[in-house]
Amino acid sequence: MNTFKRLLTKGASIAFLFSVSGMLLADELNLRPGVTEISKSVYDLHNLILLICVLIGVVVYGVMFVSMYLHRKSRGHEPAQFDDNHTLEIAWTIIPTLILVGMFIPSYGVLKEMYNTENAEMTVEVRGYQWKWEYKYVDEDYNNSFSFFSNLSTPRAQIKNRQVKTETYLLEVDEPLRIPANRKVKFLVTAEDVIHAWWVPDFGIKRDAVPGIINELWAIVPEPGTYRGQCTELCGKDHGFMPIVVEVLPEVEFDLWYQDKVAEKIALDQSKKRQSDPEFLTVSSGG
């Protein structure tokens, strides 16, 4: 019995150490809260549901182990002889149902908000390709003409281990998507060839990019900054080489950049037209 007690104390102290280091580790391994209202609600929801699961685990396994220990054969206990216990059966059906309903209520609220793309102030079409992203600013005033590709910019030498890998290894692109802070931006996610998925963890958004289908997402990012994500649907050999970089600019700065880019694009289109059609200049200046 003494040995057992000693073992129990030892076990308890090991369990205590494990739970302390476990909590530190859990904090390190936990989801990140992100920067948007949605990502924060997702984070809180995750913590709440995880807590409920842990409590259920502790109660169920606790009752199991304590009853096994207290009612063991060596203490002279005989197994009970009964087939049905209606009260117990009803209880173990109703209690989990109530727990599930309790989990559904807060989840439904967050899910509904995630899918609510109403009243967006601007729209960006996100198109997945093997293996890059194309971003198009959906803007009727400019004929939806401003779009660009965003390619991986990590040097080949780093990928081939001939150069030291940087912090942003495989998470950097030549041209990031730029959006304004504090404005509701709707993303229309689709793909050109195979299924990809557009995921920016800090915004709490992730949706499959399916050819022929448009999936909607949205984000309001309060803090300007650079946010990174990845394609999260296995889409071929370079699936790991098509990162997402979103640069969130202060509103005024974004507007200036956007107007500049659109003007540049319009000028470029016109000069192309002039080159391919010499009549264009005379016709347009004549008219």
Nearer to Cu ion, 231 or 245 (CB): 231
CB of 128 to Cu ion, least distance (A): 5
**Contacts to Cu ion from residues 144-183, by CB under 5 A:** none
What tokens were used for 257?
Answer: 């950049």
Question: Which span (32-40, 46-54, 115-123, 227-235) binds Cu ion, by CB under 5 A?
Answer: 227-235
Cis peptide before 92 (omega within 30 of 0): no
C-alpha radius of gyration, the chain, whole number: 29
Bridge partners of 125?
136, 188
Q: Per-residue string for binding with Cu ion, 68-107, x by CB under 5 A?
A: ----------------------------------------
Kindly identify the residues of this chain, within the stretch 104-123, that bind Cu ion according to CB under 5 A. none
* Closer residue to Cu ion in complex, CB, 131/254: 131
Least distance to Cu ion, CB of residue 228, Å: 15
Q: How many CA atoms lie within 13 A of 263 on its CB side?
A: 6
Pick the closer one to Cu ion by CB: 110 or 195: 195
CA distances (Å), origin 144, targets 89, 140, 141, 262 = 62, 6, 7, 10
The label of the residue with tokens 């940087």 reads 166
Q: How far is the CB of 211 from Cu ion (least distance, A)?
A: 12
Spell 100-136 as b/e; 16+ CB within 10 A means b: eeeeeeeeeebeeebeeeeebeebbbbbbbbbbbbbb
**Phi, psi (5° rounding) for residue 221?**
-100, 115
Nearer to Cu ion, 185 or 231 (CB): 231
CA-to-CA distance for 79 and 135, rounded, in angstroms? 68
Q: By CB under 5 A, is residue 231 in contact with Cu ion?
A: yes
The dihedral sign for the CA sequence 227, 230, 232, 235: positive
Q: Does the protein bind Cu ion through residue 189 (CB under 5 A)? A: no
Binding segment (CB under 5 A) for Cu ion, from list 61-69, 176-184, 235-243, 246-254: 235-243
Residue span binding Cu ion (CB under 5 A) among the ranges 10-18, 37-45, 224-232, 255-263: 224-232
Distance of CA 224 to the CA centre of its chain: 18
Which of residues 111 and 210 has its CB atom nearest to Cu ion in the complex?
210
Please select the residue that binds Cu ion; options are 38, 235, 246, 249, rule is CB under 5 A: 235
Of 179, 267, 255, 250, the closest CA to residue 217 belongs to: 179
Q: How far is the CB of 36 from Cu ion (least distance, A)?
A: 23
Q: Which stretch binds Cu ion (CB under 5 A): 6-14, 97-105, 152-160, 195-203?
A: 195-203
Q: How far apart are CA 89 and CA 212, in angstroms?
A: 49
Q: Which is nearer to Cu ion, 126 or 221 (CB)?
A: 126
Q: Is 196 in the site for Cu ion (CB under 5 A)?
A: yes
Stretch of 7-15, 106-114, 162-170, 191-199 contacting Cu ion, by CB under 5 A: 191-199
Binding site for Cu ion (CB under 5 A): 196, 231, 235
